[in-house]
Chain A
Amino acid sequence: MADNGDRMFCHACGGVWLRNDSGLTCPHCESDFTEIIEIPPENPPPERADEPRTPPNMNPWADHDPWAREGTPDSPGFGFMGGGSPGFAQRTYRSPDGRFTFSSTTFGGGYSPRQEAAHADPTVPMMVQSLDTIFNGLADTYRPLRRQDGKTTILLSQMSFQALTDYVLAMLAGRRPGAPPVENLAELMGAFRADYGPRPRGGRPGARTMIGPNPLSILSALLNLDRTGDAVYSQEELDRVISQLIDQNAHGGAPPPAAGTAIRSLPKKKVDQEMLGTDGKAECSICMDAVELGTEVTVLPCTHWFHYNCIEAWLSQHNTCPHCRRSINSTGGAGEGTRESPVVIQDSPDRRTSTGQGPSSGLTPRSGRSSSSGTRSSPSQSRESRGSRDSGSRRASRGEGHHGGFTSWVWSRLGGGG
């Protein structure tokens, strides 16, 4: 394919576009968590050219009932992968600094790569072209196509081929009020492309902005019908799993601020002889001012104490002790430990100097551009372990740091980077 014809995929919203048109940033959600979709060059040449119909030998559903497989998930040929000649898709994930690369290769029937060169029109995203084939297949199964009246509501979890068909038809109906039911699938797909693909130059009367579920999400949901247990059989599903893992580890940044009420409710006490230590002197380690006997200080659950003004300034940025990094929410929050069973902050294995003497104790040089969970404090690791439970709610909060998070995840699998 031409260099400038790269297809892009957005991991945040699932959108696809051509790099030519919108560059590396997702035009749908403006996320920069995107990927250039690599397509192996050895795809078989297309057999279908300009025919509106898929030739029977190219149609995975020509003699196939999609529901017949419901009870036999282990049947060879997984879903849409089953129809075409074998192919593979290779994806590469790279951390922003380029230091870490993760590649995956998925083998399948080549339902998408097969479409790669099928159309001379480079402006149509690959996946849409794949949909073309799918819809042509649908046409063979459900002919004649009829439009259901009324609004079409699609729940991805209950997605069916009929619903997908209805959805597309409903879109068409919105475009051309009063138009007769679509009889020609090529026409349908042409309209679909027009909706999904890049806007024609100069505009088109009656063109509308597509609303509703991303058709690619629908396709993805369809593909996942064949998911069995923990195994994944499609690139989309693999992407989803990886995205989820990234989400769960997207906490490369500093701890979040503490609540004002939590800060104000911290206990205060006057400095006594015991707190001054053996040399009878002590200082607030934030302002480094000496603290005299009787000075009122604020004590954190970890027993470290500071001037109230000093610790307030820190806690309003990060909810951990500036000295030992233990969370100040000692009794709240899963994974943060409790008074009875506190989370012990341990130096990570790669803090080689932590046992050394002198000023370097406990200090670790660290690349500012990589992140390693190996040196995370326990609360972070706890978050990782419970990430699977609340990952669903996290998916909405994607953004910076995912690559780092993913890198962390891999680092941790590789032994904490030590």
Chain B
Amino acid sequence: MGSQKRIAKELAELVETPPEGITVELADESNLYEWTVHMEGPDGSPYHVQRKIPGEALLPTGYPFKPPAVSFATKIYHPNVTTDEKGSMCLGMLRPDEWKPSSKISAVLQFARQLLAEPMPDDAVEGRIAEQYKNDRKRFEEIARDWTRQYATS
């Protein structure tokens, strides 16, 4: 499959020259479509802790014609990340109508990390968190930091 060739290529690039603060590996060596991602919380953000935040990138079999899905394995308090057990990060570029096959997973992950540093409350999935982010930044950062410490480091 052409998609496997491209995925292998992207994976090789990511492993060889990982973007800042991001490491990827296959969750299962025999499955190209499930990647384990470790993301370092950007400096100065409430997500910056000693350990990298674990997550995953799931590639559909239709990749690159269908978008991958990015999620965090631990709970993240963030306007653009669902607080359910899935921890899905909602990126516009990953929506079916926004996705371009020319987007690389590397770009997706780097953008996801950028989003940790700069949430986009106007495109939030967690409206309440977005409101708090806009109106009470201090409290938002406290909770986000608490969550990160509590969940990402245990």
Partner-B contacts on A (CB < 8 A):
99, 252-255, 285-289, 309-310, 313-314, 317, 322-323, 325, 350, 352-353, 358-360, 363-370, 372, 375, 417-418
Contacts and interface: CB of A to CB of B under 8 A. Distances in A.
A363 B107 contact: yes
28 contacts: A253-B96, A254-B96, A254-B97, A255-B97, A287-B5, A287-B6, A288-B10, A314-B101, A317-B65, A323-B100, A323-B102, A358-B110, A359-B110, A359-B111, A359-B114, A360-B107, A363-B93, A363-B107, A364-B120, A365-B80, A365-B120, A366-B98, A367-B80, A367-B92, A367-B125, A368-B94, A369-B125, A417-B122
Nearest to A313: B65
Interface in B79-112: 80, 88-104, 106-108, 110-111
Contacts of B107: 359-360, 363
Q: Which 8 A-B pairs have the closest CB atoms?
A: A366-B92, A285-B102, A364-B92, A254-B97, A359-B110, A322-B101, A363-B111, A368-B90
A99 B89 CA distance: 17
A370 B97 CA distance: 12
A366 B111 contact: no
A289 B6 CA distance: 8
A403 to B, nearest CB: 15
A325 B100 contact: yes
Question: Taking chain A's interface residues, is the majority helix, strand, or loop, or is none over half, making it mixed?
Answer: loop
Contacts of B111: 359-360, 363, 365
Nearest to A375: B92
A367 B97 contact: no
Interface residues of B, number: 39
Given A313-B65, A370-B123, A365 B90 contact: yes
Given A317-B65, A359-B111, A286 B102 contact: yes
A273 to B, nearest CB: 22
A168 to B, nearest CB: 47
B108 to A, nearest CB: 8
Interface string B108-141: 1011001100001011110100000000000000
Contacts of B92: 363-367, 375
A254 B62 CA distance: 15
Nearest to B114: A360
A279 to B, nearest CB: 17
B67 to A, nearest CB: 10
B64 interface: yes
A205 to B, nearest CB: 53
Contact of A314 (B9, B65, B115): B65
A286 B125 contact: no
Given A353-B114, A363-B108, A369-B125, 12 more contacts: A286-B101, A288-B6, A288-B104, A289-B5, A313-B2, A317-B65, A359-B110, A360-B110, A360-B111, A364-B123, A367-B123, A375-B92
